[in-house]
Structure 1
Amino acid sequence: MKLHLVIALISGILMGLTTAPVNAWPLAWIALVPLWVLVVSYERKKAEEKKAKLSFFPFTFLLLPLCWGIGYHGTALFWITGIHPMTWLGVPWLPSLLITIFCWTFITLWGAGLVTVWAIGFRTIFDLIPNSKYPIQNTLVRLLIGTALWCSLESFWSSGSLWWTSLSYTQSPHNLAILHLGQISGPNTITAAIVAVNGLIAELGIGKEKNNFDKVILSKLIIVISLLAGLHIIGFVLYSRPLIQPPETALKVGIIQGNIPNKIKFNSAGWYRAIEGYTIGYRTLADKGVDAVLIPETALPFIWTNPDRIPRSFYTAVLEKGAVAWVGGFGETERNLTNSLFTVTASGEIFSRYDKVKLVPLGEYIPFEEYLGSLIDKLSPLDAHLILGKPNQVFDTPFGRAIVGICYDSAFSELFRRQAANGGEFILSAANDAHYKESMMAQHHAQDIMRAIETDRWAVRATNTGYSGIIDPHGQTQWLSKINTFELHAATIYRRQSQTLYVRWGDWLTPLLLLLAALIPAVEYLLQKKNDN
């Protein structure tokens, strides 16, 4: 059993290595295989041990998916340890270390919980379904249920506040062909593809007791190769479609990467440096003829409720140069603060505002605040607490409606899909990843690549310290900044009104898989019952 746990842990770590900084994305197509085999094999052993009246889900079984989940999520999310030390927030070194360990452990176990629930559900269902006399049919039923269940759990987990490590993002930013499957039914399309291929490979070695093993394994191998090739061909066809970009839809945008360290961001030295840097950057880009300038999340960390709150030098620059400014700052709603992006027009007026929907737990709000608030309130550098933005916001600009994501929003595809369905023509992504490791910055960029492909939109990314970038609707990075540098960049993007299947219908694939997963065993059961009679 110890060997099985080691195998589960190592295969989970291999899945974690598919993300930045290693980016070994091909491993995603095999890293789930050991867990699938272990879960199915344990099911067979458990069926033989029922006479011994053992507990239904012994701890040794639960450890298998738990170890795999810890390996995957712990490796992929190791960047969270970059929050230490938090001495700049007034948190002493040792408590900072303990808080960091707690955060990493909690989010790792939260992700591992998804894998554990999947394994329990996967095995439970097959305890209830009689095996068919045809091995291929058993394989396909297992495959369908395993895939549908994983996609359903990712949908459920992503509806909450803690979400980042979907299996789908293991392919970003490198496997652009397969990422285009996201245009069909969102990230769960890619997740389904990865789980299905892993499951089929795992099934190659299952069912050896059957007489026609050679024919069965050959059939399964053909199905594996056909599925993997077919998925990539479909994605490549979508990837190969030319981008139609009429000149009248062009929009010249500027990006300012301010590079303001978090250590000084919320004191007077940081404010002065931010005002000076963003004002000079804005003027420089405006002189290059840009239509608008995007500035990162909370780049000018002031409460923006009217023009009088705008820093005077920056406000004057906007009035003189006339380029629209999309500025990250704080809004105010009923004595609470919001992490917001504002459109400031040439007249100096605030034209529109978007409030961040997905706040970072502990960093921007305190879960169970009535119990934990006094203990960890120092994690927030603000006097007032941030509140969530509404998920149905629209963000109008003088150039048309935009899709906005502020930092952590990027992990939640439904926020972008909803805005695209409501007429968003291009993506504005503003973030501040300065307190994390470089691998997180790369993963964040990878998330926005997926959002650009799914919605078929150009994306403009402005971050505090990197990576800022320009992404086209095919997920190709047209420009990428360096890390920890002050940078200015001007580029032309194009407004688009097309709607992918995902934008129109949302994640329709997961309900379909669930329906098929429920119908096929039911039909098989009725047919078998009819034959028995």
Structure 2
Amino acid sequence: MKSYRFVFLSIISAVLLVLSHPSPGMWAFAWFAFVPLFIALDGKKFLDAWLLGFLSGVVFFYGAISWLNSIAVMATVGLVLYLALYFSFFAAFTAAILKKNLPVFLKCAIIASWWVALEFIRSNFLTGFGWALLGYSQSPFLPAIQIADITGAYGVSFIVMFTNVVIYEFFASRGQVHPDNNFTREPVPTMLFNNRLINFLACIFLIAVVFIYGFYKLNFQFSTPNSQLKISLIQGNIPQSLKWDDTYRKDIIKTYFDFTMEAAKDKPDLIVWPETSFPVDLELEPAMAKRLFNLAKAVNTHILVGTNRYKSGNIYNSAFLISPDGAIMSYYDKLHLVPFGEYMPKIPGFLYKVLPEKINMVGDFSPGGQYTVFKNFSVLICFEDVFPQISRRFVQNGAQFLVNITNDGWYGASAAPFQHAQASVFRAVENRVPVVRCANTGLSEFIDKNGRITSGMKPFSAGYKTENISINPANSSSLQGIFVVISFLLSFCGFGIIFLRH
């Protein structure tokens, strides 16, 4: 096979993977998307495999996050090139493992574990970019993602990658690769451990267990919810270009006040506004704050408001809970800030000169320090729902449901809001609690504890939505940390096989 065909196969894998994510969200493609790349990697040396993986990574990540171009093109290119490195090291490792005469089940487990290890590193290194994980592509396919309450989203990534390797090994592989790069069929095995049929059945059994567990969780749960809450979401649909324009401030406030009065007719227990929806500091502008407090009294319910908070020279991206009596009950300051958006990370000085102007004009926010629980819920601001450890900590502190307030209006009519919503689905399943999303321009949604989107509003529409959610004490047996450790251990075993086995 000529080299351009290997390039074509690598690109095909990337395109299938892009299509599996929103939008269009053809999730089924993810289960075989890597097979063309594996065919291209068959028999390749380290550098060739590394380059093929890099190419595939560039195509995938640019296709997945091209919406970042609306902020800064060069920054997007730099991020794509960095993220593509994870594909490079995955491909080089995989090519080496595929050459080894190992039991197929072990090959599948090692390669899938290495993918999980790389996703974990990507999600945490340099503040983390846990966007467009392989497992996230399955957010609409509920039976596949229920395992996340044990393994986290990484477990779903594992089983999807595991299946890709199974398909390749049993249906696309040309056989054992020998040092001279000639391909021959493996001889009929004599040992049970190396028997392909036994390995095939073991692989199918593992995949089946995931789906059986998923169908059980979706259909045979008999616990009765302790209570129901009625929640209203306000989607203001304020264009990003007007959001901080003082000449439109009164109009923005009127929009939210009017929708709040309308939503109050449904007699909700809580009305939620999006991130930074109230362009007023409640503590520095008492007259405007009083208007909000009077609104809470008028509708006689709790209002959760996203706004900036200024204290001792620091700026916080915050959420305030206003009581029906018109008082601030509590507030939460965003813990995990967006690098190059809400703060400038420490970088070499010369980079400030080459970074785009928009990047150099980032906010100067400070991170919060408290995992606040408002009564029985906690708030995730903006992309904090991408980090599972934050949600888990809130639930451990007593939150019975989570509220994600966000402003995805930055990215216009793109895949970004849909990709962002994938994370909320997984946080619901991982913690077995409902998640409510309230976004300035969408997607505003209600997600139950099984990851099912029960109701929502169309993106780029203004209005409100009221829905009941069922809450009960969180019942999750998450072993995500242990699962990640096991994945790293299997990856280390893979490196040992590559470098030590003869």
The alignment's TM-score, normalised by the length of structure 2, stands at 0.87
Map Cα deviations across residues 189-230 of structure 1 (whole Å, 9 max, x no partner): 101101111112222214243222899655555445444333
CA contact (8 A) 2:9 2:40 kept: no
Map Cα deviations across residues 466-490 of structure 1 (whole Å, 9 max, x no partner): 1111111111111110122211122
CA contact (8 A) 2:271 2:302 kept: yes
Q: Quote the residue 2:59 is aligned against.
A: 71
Cα distance in structure 2, aligned partners of 1:396 and 1:360 = 22
Q: Quote the residue 2:281 is aligned against.
A: 303
Worse overlay, 509-518 or 157-166? 509-518
Cα distance in structure 2, aligned partners of 1:441 and 1:525 = 43
**1:198 corresponds to 2:164:** yes
Letter in 2 for 1:482: K
Worse overlay, 72-81 or 412-421? 72-81
Structure 1 counterpart of 2:77, from 60, 85, 105: 105
CA contact (8 A) 1:161 1:358 kept: no
What is the correspondence of 1:466-477 to structure 2 with a 5 Å cutoff? Answer: 466-477=442-453
Q: Quote the residue 2:179 is aligned against.
A: none
Structure 2 counterpart of 1:145, from 104, 110, 132: 110
CA contact (8 A) 1:403 1:427 kept: yes
Q: Quote the residue 1:434 is aligned against.
A: 409
**1:389 corresponds to 2:354:** no
Map Cα deviations across residues 89-140 of structure 1 (whole Å, 9 max, x no partner): xxxxxxxxxx2x223322322321111122344456789xxx5xxx5x4423
Letter in 2 for 1:413: P
Cα distance in structure 1, aligned partners of 2:496 and 2:420 = 42
Aligned residues: 482
SS in 1 for 2:376: strand
Flag the 1:310–1:500 CA change in 2: closer, same or farther, 3 A: farther
Cα RMSD, aligned residues only: 3.0
Cα distance in structure 2, aligned partners of 1:522 and 1:107 = 31
Cα distance in structure 2, aligned partners of 1:309 and 1:454 = 42
Worse overlay, 342-351 or 1-10? 342-351
Q: Quote the residue 1:176 is aligned against.
A: 142
Cα distance in structure 2, aligned partners of 1:263 and 1:455 = 36
CA contact (8 A) 1:107 1:162 kept: no
Superposed displacement of residue 525, structure 1: 12
Letter in 2 for 1:161: G
Cα distance in structure 2, aligned partners of 1:335 and 1:4 = 56
Map Cα deviations across residues 296-355 of structure 1 (whole Å, 9 max, x no partner): 011012233378275443232113333111100112244121211111112333222222
Letter in 1 for 2:243: K
**1:242 corresponds to 2:218:** no
CA contact (8 A) 2:50 2:89 kept: no
Flag the 1:22–1:521 CA change in 2: closer, same or farther, 3 A: closer
The alignment's TM-score, normalised by the length of structure 1, stands at 0.82
Superposed displacement of residue 521, structure 1: 9.1
Cα distance in structure 2, aligned partners of 1:380 and 1:279 = 34
Cα distance in structure 1, aligned partners of 2:105 and 2:53 = 22
Q: Quote the residue 1:419 is aligned against.
A: 394
Cα distance in structure 2, aligned partners of 1:4 and 1:309 = 66
Percent of aligned pairs sharing the same letter = 24
Cα distance in structure 2, aligned partners of 1:377 and 1:337 = 22
Worse overlay, 432-441 or 207-216? 207-216
**1:408 corresponds to 2:383:** yes
User: Runs of 5+ in structure 2 lacking a partner?
Assistant: 177-183
Q: Quote the residue 1:511 is aligned against.
A: 485
Q: Quote the residue 1:54 is aligned against.
A: none
Q: Quote the residue 1:445 is aligned against.
A: 421
Cα distance in structure 2, aligned partners of 1:363 and 1:40 = 41
CA contact (8 A) 2:18 2:64 kept: yes
**1:483 corresponds to 2:459:** yes
Q: Quote the residue 1:162 is aligned against.
A: 129
SS in 1 for 2:442: coil
Letter in 1 for 2:466: A
Superposed displacement of residue 8, structure 1: 0.7
Structure 2 counterpart of 1:462, from 433, 438, 452: 438
Superposed displacement of residue 438, structure 1: 3.6
Flag the 1:338–1:458 CA change in 2: closer, same or farther, 3 A: same
Letter in 1 for 2:279: P
Flag the 1:141–1:334 CA change in 2: closer, same or farther, 3 A: farther
SS in 2 for 1:102: helix
Flag the 1:444–1:347 CA change in 2: closer, same or farther, 3 A: same
Cα distance in structure 1, aligned partners of 2:338 and 2:327 = 29
Worse overlay, 467-476 or 281-290? 281-290
Cα distance in structure 2, aligned partners of 1:408 and 1:261 = 19
Superposed displacement of residue 11, structure 1: 0.7
Q: Quote the residue 2:187 is aligned against.
A: 211
Flag the 1:314–1:379 CA change in 2: closer, same or farther, 3 A: farther
Worse overlay, 451-460 or 28-37? 28-37
Cα distance in structure 2, aligned partners of 1:124 and 1:309 = 67
SS in 2 for 1:318: helix
Cα distance in structure 1, aligned partners of 2:467 and 2:128 = 34
Letter in 2 for 1:395: T
**1:12 corresponds to 2:14:** yes
Worse overlay, 147-156 or 137-146? 137-146
Cα distance in structure 1, aligned partners of 2:497 and 2:129 = 38
Cα distance in structure 2, aligned partners of 1:65 and 1:323 = 54
SS in 1 for 2:187: coil
Cα distance in structure 2, aligned partners of 1:518 and 1:465 = 44
Letter in 2 for 1:164: W
Map Cα deviations across residues 45-101 of structure 1 (whole Å, 9 max, x no partner): x4xxxxxxxxxx43x3321111121222222222323x26xxxxxxxxxxxxxx2x2
Q: Quote the residue 1:317 is aligned against.
A: 295
SS in 1 for 2:185: coil
Superposed displacement of residue 181, structure 1: 1.1
Superposed displacement of residue 186, structure 1: 0.4
Map Cα deviations across residues 474-508 of structure 1 (whole Å, 9 max, x no partner): 11111110122211122211232123111xx4432
Cα distance in structure 1, aligned partners of 2:286 and 2:348 = 35
Structure 2 counterpart of 1:346, from 324, 327, 331: 324
Cα distance in structure 2, aligned partners of 1:442 and 1:525 = 42
CA contact (8 A) 2:130 2:386 kept: yes
CA contact (8 A) 1:307 1:348 kept: no
